[in-house]
């Protein structure tokens, strides 16, 4: 397994009137080539900021981001601009930030213009190729965004992201604005494209049931931290962090539902400006112990390809190893 992206101790702080907001609070992870890492958590947990920071669409406060072994936090904006071809972003609504007067063809063509790719005479063919690749009829080349339904609009967003032949794409809630019936189509498209083009994804969603099928591994975020990271299968069959268990409780999946421990969370997510001391989940955790309020739990390897930050888990591991030592 070759690592494409490695993130080390990434922090992104924002200065607000109320104080320092630690949107991303010291997280580390890596993504292998051809893999999809799902990032899941409630709104405000820092998952979108993580995605943007990894692409340096926003500058990290601290930490390292290695792309193919190169630390991109040290690159000048010019070098970064060149690298941006390899690293693209798919938004929840690709048109929210776009000129509604641009046709589909113009939207997909724009990256070619910006990067001066291909002779002008070839660009039209390239645009049509991309449209076919994402399952859009080339007849729509002169249509405008408002004339398309949500699913087709997102296909345009995907085509635009693919225009520069990227290696890595951050997909930020790419299906959240779509009807449930359309969601599966777009997810299938992303998976097909991944296989065909060897893409690597970071797939961000507030919805575990959405990231489940597309992700090889899933990182669960809460208040700027990763609390658990493991394979998609483990998240659903062997979740260890109380917050992961609570997220699972919120989605009814009959196949797992009957044997799953149900945890319903009380209260709201605390402000990231004033996160709890100790374990960041301590204000809402049904299993909270005294030390949880003072000491942050270590991030431990609780199994193969499985890391968790919870005192319950690390205490149990310590007990195990002591018993084995006897």
Site residues, ligand SF4 (CB under 6 A): 242, 279, 281-282, 285, 287-289, 292, 297, 310-312
Does 232 interact with Mg ion (rule: CB under 5 A)?
A: no
Shortest spacing between CB 295 and ligand SF4, in angstroms: 9
Closest distance to Mg ion from the beta carbon of 78 (Å): 29
Q: Give the nearest distance from C-beta 222 to ligand SF4 in angstroms.
A: 9
Q: Give residues with Cβ within 8 angstroms of 80, minimum separation 6.
A: 56, 72
Q: Which does 5 bind (CB under 5 to 8 A by kind): ligand SF4, Mg ion, none?
A: none
Which one of Mg ion, ligand SF4, none is in contact with 297 (Cβ closer than 5 to 8 A by kind)?
ligand SF4
Closer to ligand SF4 by CB, 211 or 292: give it: 292
**Pattern 46-75, Mg ion, x by CB under 5 A:** --x---------------------------
User: In terms of CB distance, is 41 or 145 closer to ligand SF4?
Assistant: 41
User: Least CB distance from residue 233 to ligand SF4, whole Å?
Assistant: 22
CB-nearer residue toward Mg ion: 48 or 200: 48
214 binds, among Mg ion, ligand SF4, none (CB under 5 to 8 A by kind): none
Choice between 48 and 88, CB closer to Mg ion: 48
Three-state SS for the chain is CCEEEEEEEEEEEEEECCEEEEEEEEEEEEEECCCEEEEECCCCCCHHHHHHHHCCCCCCCEEEEEECCEEHHHCCHHHHHHHHHHEEEECCCCCCCCCCCCCHHHHHHHHHHHCCCCCHHHHHHHHHHHHHHCCCCHHHHHCCHHHCCHHHHHHHHHHHHHCCCCCEEEEECCCCCCCHHHHHHHHHHHHHHHHHHCCEEEEEECCHHHHHHHCCEEEEEECCEEEEEEEHHHHHHCCCCHHHHHHHHCCCCHHHHCCCCCCCCCCCCCCCCCCCCCCCCCCCCCCCCHHHHCCCCCEEEEECCEEEECHHHHHHHHHHHHHHHC
Which of Mg ion, ligand SF4, none sits in contact with 82, Cβ below 5 to 8 A by type? Answer: none
**What is the smallest separation between the CB atom of 319 and Mg ion, expressed in angstroms?**
39
Burial 47-81 (b: 16+ CB within 10 A, else e): bbbbbbbbbbebebbebebbbeeeebbebeeeebe
**Taking CB within 5 to 8 Å according to partner kind, which of ligand SF4, Mg ion, none is near residue 211?**
none
279 makes contact, choosing from Mg ion, ligand SF4, none, with CB < 5 to 8 Å by partner type, with ligand SF4
Q: How far is the CB of 280 from ligand SF4 (least distance, A)?
A: 8
Q: Which does 48 bind (CB under 5 to 8 A by kind): ligand SF4, Mg ion, none?
A: Mg ion
29-48 residues in contact with Mg ion (CB under 5 A) are: 48
Residue of 222, 276, 273, 217 lying closest to 244 (CA atoms): 222
Residue nearest to Mg ion (CB): 48
In the complex, least distance from residue 282 CB atom to ligand SF4, rounded to whole angstroms: 4
Tell me the closest approach of the beta carbon of residue 43 to Mg ion, in angstroms. Answer: 6
The residue ranges that bind Mg ion (CB under 5 A) are 48
């Amino acid at each position: 397994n070759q690592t494409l992206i490695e993130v080390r101790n990434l922090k992104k702080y924002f200065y607000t009137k109320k104080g320092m907001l630690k949107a991303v609070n010291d997280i580390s992870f890596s993504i292998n080539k051809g893999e999809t890492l799902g990032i899941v958590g409630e709104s405000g947990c820092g998952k979108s900021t993580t995605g943007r920071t990894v692409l340096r669409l926003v500058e990290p406060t601290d930490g390292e981001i290695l792309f193919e072994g190169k630390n991109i936090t040290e690159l000048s904006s010019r070098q970064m601009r060149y690298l941006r071809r390899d690293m693209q972003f798919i938004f929840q609504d690709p048109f929210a930030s776009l000129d509604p007067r641009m046709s589909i063809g113009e939207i997909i063509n724009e990256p070619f213009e910006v990067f001066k790719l291909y002779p002008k005479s070839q660009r039209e063919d390239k645009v049509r190729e991309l449209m076919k690749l994402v399952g859009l009829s080339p007849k729509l080349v002169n249509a405008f965004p408002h004339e398309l339904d949500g699913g087709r609009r997102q296909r345009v967003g995907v085509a635009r992201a693919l225009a520069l032949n990227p290696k890595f794409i951050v997909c930020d809630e790419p299906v959240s604005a779509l009807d449930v019936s359309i969601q599966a189509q777009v997810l299938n498209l992303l998976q097909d494209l991944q296989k065909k083009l060897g893409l690597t994804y970071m797939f961000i969603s507030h919805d575990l049931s959405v990231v489940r099928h597309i992700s090889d591994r899933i990182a669960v975020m809460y208040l700027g931290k990763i609390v658990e990271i493991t394979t998609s299968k483990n998240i659903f069959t062997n979740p260890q962090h109380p917050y992961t268990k609570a997220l699972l409780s919120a989605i009814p999946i009959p196949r797992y539902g009957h044997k799953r421990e149900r945890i319903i969370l009380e209260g709201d997510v605390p402000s990231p400006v004033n996160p709890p001391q100790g374990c960041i989940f301590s204000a809402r955790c049904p299993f909270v112990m005294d030390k949880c309020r003072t000491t942050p739990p270590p991030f431990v390897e609780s199994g193969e390809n499985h890391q968790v930050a919870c005192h319950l888990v690390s205490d149990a591991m310590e007990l195990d190893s002591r018993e084995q030592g006897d």
